[in-house]
Chains A and B, each alone.
Chain A
């Protein structure tokens, strides 16, 4: 079933007003009783709508749901392309390319993603960076960081690794050694395993369908 937002908006407001009027029959609209009913019904009805929408939203945001990929998406090539039908950019999941030189099974990939998320939380990444646009504004947004041209242009040559994932992992372990700017990322003492997991998470996150955010990533406007 597809939910239309206008139906939700109109229905929720209509039901609140309708119930308030029904239950306040016999009261003047200036009475506390009238407004108490209005308060109760707006709270209850809006909450019911929220819960209903939450169930529906889970169909999209669960791993393997409509918008969020399975962890083993890290095996595939990911790109971000303009979709003329939708009118915005969408992540495109391409053929298998492997990750750190191998194909990860579903379980292995899930464990790696889990480790990556825990590492991201334990190092407070969100208090400098934004992820999916949420967080702090002291450092770049990481939503599509895996696709950032800077890895190829600067980081791979500087750290001297062959693949993008190896280069990112090395850079993440020693950001203070390879500064890209006056504002340096501190060395967060990532282990080899943690660095690999964070890179996996960045790749995984870049495959999430985000309604076109950020717009035209990596492409300067004309």
Chain B
């Protein structure tokens, strides 16, 4: 049995930390969900602002760690060689983990600081999603540069560039370049939010989508054995659609922050187009599923790939579209409608993708040490992953639906009728629809946490099972002997 690439070991470390942070994200989410029902819960100890900050920061960081892990997993396979700067890659990993630990401890125990620039450098920047203090920002950029260097240097040393890695390199450059747009202070809140959206929107709705396209392209090649030229053509189609609609789709965040009126039209128009790439992905997923009749060896990975295609459409497409036209957004902006959209879109587009890749990795890892026998094929399957899969999907839809009802009520009562004041806000939060919705959200949140526990159990225990030849089309990849 040959050895794993060092880069692939690094990938496993990345995913380990990512899954731990996923758990932390859910726990802090539950704290926030309880506080909506009982505001005295942990009041003064872990106030909503702190728990919520940890909830969304853990989300961003674990997804990014998963993406980096996935890159490190597929990269040596793509070029048939070890990643060039593996030593510095490992160093960067430890620095990143240490930095994340320090940031979390500071968030938990220092929480806030005086209103001066030192707080922004060492405690929190107080800007939603990118609260990480400035020193940590610099660390994130440094680690990102290491990843970028490793991709480019490995491609150079292999003296070849594939379409997939070409897209990856451009996308990584854009992704980390955009992060710089979030690293400055200005007293002008309109300018602040203008560039803040460059990070938040252009990450989530452009560069992350493309990165996922890259990772899914690799996944499909390994899961279904799709030919490279096909996968690459499809990736270009996706990039075309995502950049074509997503970059100026940024306009739908520029309706109400002091920006000129033409953004209403630009944002509204491109948002109306945004479901198109998502519809394309559904058609593609259905086509692949039908052609292969779901007979792949890695069941959980394939099912998470499908969850990704549909989740992306529902979360980003359906939930996004209904509140994106400016005339409607005038009232729904900044209500639980946005929270509803955020929960389903992040889960559908990114959580599902990370889990799919994690199962691909597990499938290959656990095949090691199994001697292939004639007439026997192996599939990766268990009962537990199905419970986790169904549990997570039902509970995320449950949470999303509850938040949607709450947001709908808030839009009408607080904004359209009440005039958006402090008292109108309180009245809307005290409305029976809202209170009921918060109970349902907590209930589904607990189901989600239980599903997470099952998922972790499955990740630790799932093993390849021998099956009869005709049941599957592909089999788990057996790594060829290295010279």
Binding site for B on A (CB under 8 A): 3-6, 8-9, 12-13, 16, 30-32, 35-36, 38-39, 42-43, 46-47, 49-50, 53-54, 56-58, 60-63, 66-68, 71, 110, 113-128, 130-141, 143-145, 148-150, 176, 180-184, 186-191, 194, 197, 205, 208-221
Contact = CB atoms under 8 A, between A and B. Distances in A.
25 contacts: A13-B244, A43-B170, A54-B194, A61-B188, A113-B187, A118-B185, A120-B126, A121-B115, A122-B124, A123-B49, A125-B126, A127-B126, A133-B256, A133-B257, A134-B334, A139-B425, A141-B425, A143-B256, A148-B421, A150-B421, A182-B39, A189-B112, A211-B264, A215-B331, A217-B419
Contacts of B194: 54, 57, 61
Which of B167, B190, B236, B419 gathers most chain A CB within 10 Å? B190
A122 B127 CA distance: 9
B419 A5 contact: no
Contacts of B425: 139-141
Given A54-B194, A141-B420, A218-B420, 19 more contacts: A5-B266, A9-B248, A32-B236, A38-B236, A46-B247, A116-B115, A117-B192, A118-B117, A122-B112, A128-B52, A133-B257, A136-B49, A138-B35, A138-B36, A186-B44, A186-B49, A208-B189, A217-B420, A221-B416
B419 A216 contact: yes
Contacts of A3: 260, 262
Contacts of A188: 112
A122 B119 contact: yes
Contacts of A13: 244
Contacts of A66: 260
Contacts of A215: 330-331, 415-416, 420
B325 interface: no
B422 interface: yes
Contacts of B431: none
Interface string B38-76: 010001100111101100000000000000000000000
Contacts of B163: 32, 36
A35 B113 CA distance: 51
A46 B248 contact: yes
Nearest to B200: A134
Interface in B122-145: 123-128, 131
A213 B120 contact: no
A31 to B, nearest CB: 8
Contacts of B123: 122
Interface residues of B, number: 93
Interface of B: 32, 35-36, 39, 43-44, 47-50, 52-53, 111-117, 119-120, 123-128, 131, 163, 167, 170, 185-194, 196, 229, 232-233, 236-237, 239-241, 243-244, 247-248, 250, 253-266, 269-270, 330-331, 333-336, 338-339, 410, 415-426, 429
A38 B256 contact: no
A3 B49 CA distance: 39
Contact of A138 (B52, B248, B333, B426): B52
Contact of B330 (A9, A176, A191, A213): A213
Q: Which of A71, A115, A137 has the most CB of B within 10 A?
A: A137
A124 B421 contact: no
Given A36-B163, A46-B244, A134-B128, A124 B49 contact: yes
Contacts of B243: 39, 42-43, 46
Given A42-B244, A57-B254, A6 B47 contact: no
B53 A127 contact: yes
A189 B112 CA distance: 9
Contact of A127 (B49, B113, B263): B49
Q: Which of A47, A57, A211 has the most CB of B within 10 A?
A: A211
B250 A50 contact: yes
List 10 tightest A-B contacts by C-beta distance, closest first.
Answer: A5-B265, A119-B115, A121-B126, A35-B236, A213-B256, A133-B334, A214-B420, A46-B247, A127-B49, A39-B239
Contacts of B52: 127-128, 136, 138
A183 B426 CA distance: 9
Contacts of B420: 141, 144, 214-218
A3 B260 CA distance: 9
Nearest to B111: A124
A214 B48 CA distance: 24
Contacts of B128: 126-127, 134-136
B155 to A, nearest CB: 17
Contact of A63 (B188, B250, B338): B188
B120 to A, nearest CB: 6
B419 A131 contact: no
A128 B113 CA distance: 17
A220 B247 contact: no
Contacts of A145: 422
Contacts of A58: 191
A219 to B, nearest CB: 5
Nearest to A205: B189
B244 A210 contact: no
Contact of B39 (A53, A117, A184): A184
Contact of B261 (A54, A211, A217): A211
A123 B256 CA distance: 23
Nearest to B429: A183
Contacts of A57: 194, 254, 259-260, 263
Nearest to A49: B248
